[in-house]
Amino acid sequence: MKPKNQATHSDLDALLEPLSKNPETFTAKARELAAAWNAAGTALEVRGPETWRNPLHLPRTGVATIEEQLRSEIDSIQLMDRAEEARHARRIEFAKLRLDVALEEEGLDHEDLEGSVMYEPDTFRDLEPQRCLIPPNVCRRWVEWHALRTELVERNLYLVLINVERYAHLGSSRLDLIQEGSTSLFRAVDGFDWRRELLFRTYAVHWLNQAFRSFLYNNGQTVRVPVYLQKAMKHVRAAKAKLGGEGVATPDAIAEETGLGVHLVESALDAMKSTLSMDMPLNGEQGNGLADVIGTDNPEGLYLPEMEEFSVADGIDMAFDRLSNRERFVVEMRFGVNQKREHTLAEVAKELGVSLERVRQIQVRALGKMKTPALRKAVDPFLQS
């Protein structure tokens, strides 16, 4: 027996069905009904997960992984047909209108709901007013609305498992992708419009694909790669496979095949280099990690005093070895290395018999070549205050 002054979903459907015959006026008339229900203090039933699960379904025992357990639970959920989806979408819209009316009556807005409802799914049917930091009537309206959204999400979780297969081979954790896809279904529910007479899954797949791609773009690699470069990497991979892999697929050949610039192709190839965890087993789950392979047998540990025996002069000499004779001459004169003083661009230009701009270009190119880790290591201790 239902509590006094509480309407079931069937009661609500009987009132909303006639209003849905005219979609253009549905919102206005549903809002009038929402205001009347609020004034009368009518509550809408809040259903729990057991109402949309198949009672004859027996969950698999002895599942090996979390994903298998999740699949087993999703298999027990009863799916919706087109008519039931439309009815449920109208319930969600009506519940949202009731919440809007309640907020207006209390002088609040949706931002005031953030962190104000202490919501626990196992006990939401008997939500106590003192567990909310907002007026009880607003709290109840929020619970009714959220419970309806949650039901539509859970009854479409199978879509996540189907569509995740397209992205599961791209390096990210399947469970992370499933979690991201499940969250995106709430955005799909909020944007779904029953008036268009579409199946919910047709609309939801768009949000799932967007969520999967966004997650991969932002978390697919240890170092985040810009989206434009990740798209270029996709074309580069396809071109490399078509051209025959390493050796044959040179940057120039890939650029010609894809229509991308050579510099963009080179950047994509650099970004495609993978990273390895020092602790990741190299041969199966029980193998040694990379740290074990590249470790040292030195009983005193990894540190050696010889590591610090590296002077600024050594670092500069190593950097100078990367320069041509002309580049080295320009750098030495400009910065007074092995000279009595520093020289101006004009003085260097006069020595070489070239223009000031040419000297500046040689200097810039030379300094770029000298940016080596060895020089940085030598100079850093002397630059610290």
Distance, in Å, from the CA atom of 160 to the CA atom of 177, rounded to the nearest integer, reads 9
- Would you say residue 17 has pLDDT above 60? yes
- Would you say residue 76 has pLDDT above 50? yes
Tell me, what DSSP letter sits at residue 117?
Answer: B
Reduced to 3 states (helix: H, G, I; strand: E, B; else coil), residue 250 is coil
* Cβ-Cβ contacts under 8 Å for 206 (sequence gap 6 or more): 188
Distance, in Å, from the CA atom of 323 to the CA atom of 348, rounded to the nearest integer, reads 17
| Residue 1 pLDDT class (50, 70, 90 cuts) | very low
More confident residue, 88 or 222: 88
Mean pLDDT of 207-234: 80
Of the listed ranges 1-15, 41-55, 369-383, the one predicted with least confidence: 369-383
Taking phi over 0 as left and psi of -120 to 50 as alpha, with beta for the rest, 284 belongs to left
Of the listed ranges 167-176, 300-309, 364-373, the one predicted with least confidence: 300-309
pLDDT digits (tens, 9 = 90+) for 111-160: 888 777 765 555 455 544 446 778 888 989 999 999 999 999 999 999 99
Tell me, what DSSP letter sits at residue 145?
Answer: H
Mean pLDDT of 227-251: 80
Structure tokens at 212: 């999967």
Helix, strand, coil tally for the chain in percent (to 5)? 65, 5, 35
More confident residue, 83 or 62: 83
Q: Are 95 and 144 in contact (CB under 8 A)?
A: yes
Q: Ranked by mean pLDDT, which of 1-5, 193-197, 283-287 comes out on top?
A: 193-197
CATH class of the domain defined by 309-383: mainly alpha
- Would you say residue 353 has pLDDT above 70? yes
Is-above-0.85 flag for pTM?
Answer: no
- Would you say residue 82 has pLDDT above 50? yes
Mean pLDDT, the chain, integer: 81
Q: Are 9 and 89 in contact (CB under 8 A)?
A: no
Q: Are 275 and 285 in contact (CB under 8 A)?
A: no
Of the listed ranges 84-93, 174-183, 212-221, 369-378, the one predicted with least confidence: 369-378
Nearest to 168 by CA among 201, 205, 212, 206: 212
Q: Are 272 and 233 in contact (CB under 8 A)?
A: yes
pLDDT for residue 184 = 94
What are φ and ψ of residue 299, in 5° steps? Answer: -65, -20
Reduced to 3 states (helix: H, G, I; strand: E, B; else coil), residue 129 is helix
pLDDT for residue 127 = 47
Q: Domain 6-52+65-219, what fold?
A: Four Helix Bundle (Hemerythrin (Met), subunit A) (1.20.120)
Nearest to 17 by CA among 80, 82, 88, 81: 88
Mean pLDDT of 323-352: 86
- Would you say residue 61 has pLDDT above 90? no
